[in-house]
Amino acid sequence: MKKTYSILSGAFSIMAIFPILAGLTKWGFPLYVAVLEVSLFLPFTLALAGLVFALMGLKGKLKISLVVMNAARLSLSLFLVFVALFGFQQP
């Protein structure tokens, strides 16, 4: 069961960062727009789910790397959501 949690953690981690990275390319921009139309918080939610599954996954170096990777993606998503909600407001 813990192996499944580790696999799910990796999958959610990839799903959380892929729309952000795809938004930086010409071919991936429509994907980025489609994700944002679903919800601004979708990458944040995916990274949070990845972190939860990483905490329940296999022990050892794999767990440490999954937790750090998902925590970094969660921080990036949280920062981007903060900028989107409060940074683009006009005075």
> In the 8-state DSSP scheme, what is residue 57?
S
| Contact status, residue 7 vs residue 15, Cβ threshold 8 Å | no
Q: Looking at residue 91, what is its pLDDT?
A: 65
In this prediction, residue 87 carries a pLDDT of 82
Residue 54 neighbours by CB under 8 Å, 6+ apart: 5, 6, 9, 13, 63, 66, 67, 69, 70
Domain ranges of the chain: 2-87
The pLDDT tens digits of the residues spanning 13-70 come to: 988 888 878 878 888 888 888 888 888 888 889 999 999 999 998 888 998 999 999 9
Residue 58: other Cβ atoms inside 10 A: 16
User: pLDDT value at position 29?
Assistant: 83
